[in-house]
Amino acid sequence: MNILILGYGKMGKIIGEIAESRGHSLSAKINIDNRDELSSLDPSTIDVAIEFSQPESAVENISWAMARGIPVVSGTTGWLSRKAEIEKLTAAQNGAFFYASNYSIGVNIFFKVNEFLAKLMNETNGYQASMEEVHHTEKKDAPSGTAITLAEGIFKNVDKLDNWHLVGQSAESEHSLPITAKRIDPAPGTHIVRYSSEIDQIEISHTAHSRQGFALGAVLVAEWIQGRKGVLSMDDFLSF
């Protein structure tokens, strides 16, 4: 399989190493410094694009690939206010677009545990929900895309919560989930969901030890997406 990497930073490099170790070839490794090389690529020789760039580049990168019939696997966060545009383009091109805020298999299991706990807590009085996430200092968006996905899982199941606020930076309300975002090197990613009461605290957490799990998941999805169409997610891939 020939893979185009859009966004060749730390994650892109690990993705490239894992892809090559699994017998795949890299058509090109594109970042902000060599984006002009896209014009010289033959789209017919590219089987999939894996896009892990920056929020300000994501839509342009994904659109470039989709317009040329290249399936896209995207893990960039911080741009989802424009996701509807990409979904429309996917439909218009009869293409394949896969997005996940986190490609770690462990994190996606954690998403399900989070939703199950939220259902239980919705039937229990006296607990206040909150969340904390910790990432490296190079991560630009806060809260993380993973934290937002966790929050959405809570909103689906806890009646009194319908939005989130970043602690210390945005307004809060009784219906808002407080999220604390910390940027500490070299943390690749920790997410903690808490339910606190006057008498006790319930807490679930996921801590990544490296970026390897995220990168491997992206490559596995790139292998899986071949021949598929539409807007896809980790639920499709894992068949939960």
Q: Specify the long-range contacts of residues 43-47, CB closer than 8 Å, at least 24 apart.
A: 43/68, 43/69, 43/70, 45/2, 46/2, 46/3, 46/4, 46/70, 47/1, 47/2, 47/3, 47/71, 47/226
Structure tokens at 96: 């394949």
What is the distance between the alpha carbons of residues 192 and 157, in angstroms, rounded to a whole number? 17
Structure tokens at 31: 């970042």
What is the distance between the alpha carbons of residues 75 and 61, in angstroms, rounded to a whole number? 12
Q: Is the dihedral of CA 221, 224, 227, 232 positive or negative?
A: negative
What is the distance between the alpha carbons of residues 219 and 35, in angstroms, rounded to a whole number? 22
135 is a catalytic site residue: yes
Q: Which of 13, 112, 139, 206 is catalytic?
A: 139
β-bridge partners, 73? 50, 98
| Location of structure tokens 């993973």 | 146
Q: Which of 13, 24, 135, 209 is catalytic?
A: 135
Instruction: List residues with catalytic annotation.
Output: 135, 139
